């Protein structure tokens, strides 16, 4: 059997009590909402990986095309021997496009989905034996206290997938401020940011013909059923996603197809027919809007790369 490379693992994974607390609070709120980070159990991570292959989901292939084209210029800005810290590293596929040119000495993948993170970082360590690979299972919406990796050179945070769009703009500024602290003055953040565009393209990307995004959305209910004591019919909730032009975001919801009450632990939650659980936002920005947001978090927007159709951007931000 092929020997496996070691991955230094730091485990601060949220436990079932976090899921319980946030689900009960979210369903007690008006309107009802559950944070999107709970999509990502093992099955949720696998479904997201499947979404990335869909023809409607332009984000992944467009961002990967930009990364392939910008990597030489990026390497000139950053220099060798840096530490790459990837937020929401998932399958750790996009970072592979950077490694040969960038030649970092260390990689730290951060993700909330523990088993998926461990499998992805082990694969990365095996495929790049010259790279020191670390993994940290933490919820970065709460903190970014990562293990000390002092041995490395400058820090480059990497936050692809437009995951920053899942945060309300104020929360996004707070998260990026923590990233600015993590990389230190003159450290960098390479971030994927989805851009405002034709509403039909946006709506199609979150309503794919094969129904994978619907399965991903519904998996949240299946996760609640498997991890919390509950009694409800997950099939009575439908996937619903649309672009809200006033807020500048895709909204994803689970719609109750009938009036019903659902039990989770010792609590009952009433739904009227058509009432929704708001499960995700995905904010879309113009380059100027995102530059202002980055500035509020203490970053300068040094370089912005886009695809020819300006669907997506990869931005190199520098901490001031
Ligand atoms: C939209 S996916 C992006 C995955 C990958 N980076 C890409 O670009 O294809 C978001 C990733 O962030 C992780 N994630 C979501 N919320 C998180 C949180 N609060 N803390 C840590 N990881 C989180 C998920 O598990 C998932 O792997």
**Signed CA dihedral, 34, 40, 44, 50: sign only:** positive
Is residue 176 within 8 A of residue 103, CB to CB? The reply is: no
Compute CA 287 distance to the chain's CA centroid, rounded to the nearest angstrom: 19
The Cα–Cα gap between 111 and 194 comes to: 20
Q: CA 69, 74, 79: angle at the middle one, nearest 5?
A: 145
Cβ(195)–Cβ(308) below 8 Å: no
CA of 87 to the centre of ligand 1 (A): 7
pLDDT value at 2 more than 70 = no
- How many residues appear in the chain? 320
279 alpha carbon – ligand 1 mean position (Å):
15
Reported pTM: 0.97
CA distance 65 to 67: 5
Residue nearest to atom 14 of ligand 1 (CA): 88
Which single residue is written with the structure tokens 């990837």?
Answer: 86
Mean pLDDT of 164-188: 97
> Does 160 sit in the ligand 1 pocket, CB within 6 Å?
yes
Q: Which domains, ranges and CATH numbers included, belong to the chain?
A: 15-44+199-283 (no CATH), 54-198+284-319 (3.40.50.150)
Q: What is the pLDDT of residues 214-238, one digit of tens each?
A: 999 999 999 999 999 999 999 999 9
Q: How far apart are CA 239 and CA 80, in angstroms?
A: 45
> How is residue 308 written in tokens?
């020819």
Query: Which pair of structure tokens corresponds to residue 188?
Result: 């960098």
Atom 3 of ligand 1, residue of closest alpha carbon: 161
Q: Are 287 and 268 in contact (CB under 8 A)?
A: no
- Per-residue confidence band for 5, with pLDDT thresholds at 50, 70 and 90: confident
CA distance 248 to 293: 14
Q: What is the mean pLDDT of the chain?
A: 96
pLDDT value of position 3: 55
Residue closest by Cα to atom 13 of ligand 1: 88
Our mutation pick for probing the ligand 1 site, out of 111, 121, 250, 252, counting the most ligand atoms within 8 A of Cβ, is 111
- Indicate whether residue 37 lines ligand 1 (CB < 6 A): yes
Q: Measured between alpha carbons, how far is 122 from 144 in angstroms, rounded to an integer?
A: 22
What b/e string do you get for 55-91 counting C-beta neighbours within 10 Å, with b at 16 or more? Answer: ebbbbbebbbebbeebbeebbeebeeebbbbbbbbbb
Q: Indicate if ligand 1 lies below 6 Å from the C-beta of 205.
A: no
Give 274's DSSP letter: T
Rounded distance from Cα 235 to ligand 1 centre (Å): 26
Share of the chain above pLDDT 90, in %: 94
Give the Cα separation of 185 and 27 in Å (integer).
41
Q: How far away, in angstroms, is 117 Cα from ligand 1 center? A: 10
């Amino acid at each position: 059997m092929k020997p496996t490379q070691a991955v230094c693992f730091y485990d601060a994974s949220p436990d079932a009590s976090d899921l319980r607390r946030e689900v009960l609070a979210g369903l007690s709120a008006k309107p009802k909402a559950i944070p999107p980070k709970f999509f990502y159990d093992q099955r949720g991570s696998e479904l997201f990986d499947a979404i990335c292959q869909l023809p409607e989901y332009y984000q992944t292939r467009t961002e990967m095309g930009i990364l392939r084209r910008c990597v030489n210029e990026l390497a000139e800005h950053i220099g060798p021997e840096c530490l790459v810290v990837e937020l929401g590293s998932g399958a750790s596929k996009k970072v592979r496009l950077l490694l040969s040119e960038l030649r970092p000495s260390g990689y730290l993948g951060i993700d909330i989905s523990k088993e998926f993170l461990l499998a992805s970082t082990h694969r990365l360590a095996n495929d790049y034996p010259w790279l020191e690979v670390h993994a940290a299972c933490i919820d970065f919406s709460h903190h970014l206290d990562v293990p000390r990796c002092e041995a490395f050179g400058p820090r480059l945070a990497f936050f692809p997938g437009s995951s920053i769009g899942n945060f309300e703009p104020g929360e996004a500024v707070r998260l990026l401020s923590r990233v600015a602290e993590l990389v230190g003055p003159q450290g960098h953040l390479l971030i994927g940011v989805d851009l405002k565009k034709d509403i039909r393209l946006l709506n199609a990307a979150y309503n794919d013909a094969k129904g994978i995004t619907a399965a991903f959305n519904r998996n949240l209910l299946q996760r609640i059923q498997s991890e919390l004591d509950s009694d409800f019919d997950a099939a009575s909730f439908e996937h619903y996603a649309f672009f809200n032009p006033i807020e500048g975001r895709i909204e994803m919801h689970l719609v109750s197809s009938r009036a019903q009450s659902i039990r989770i632990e010792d609590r009952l939650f009433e739904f009227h027919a058509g009432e929704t659980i708001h499960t995700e936002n995905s904010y879309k920005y113009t380059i100027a809007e995102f530059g202002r947001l980055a500035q509020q978090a203490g970053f300068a927007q040094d370089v912005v790369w886009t695809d020819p159709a300006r669907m997506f951007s990869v931005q190199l931000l520098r901490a001031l």
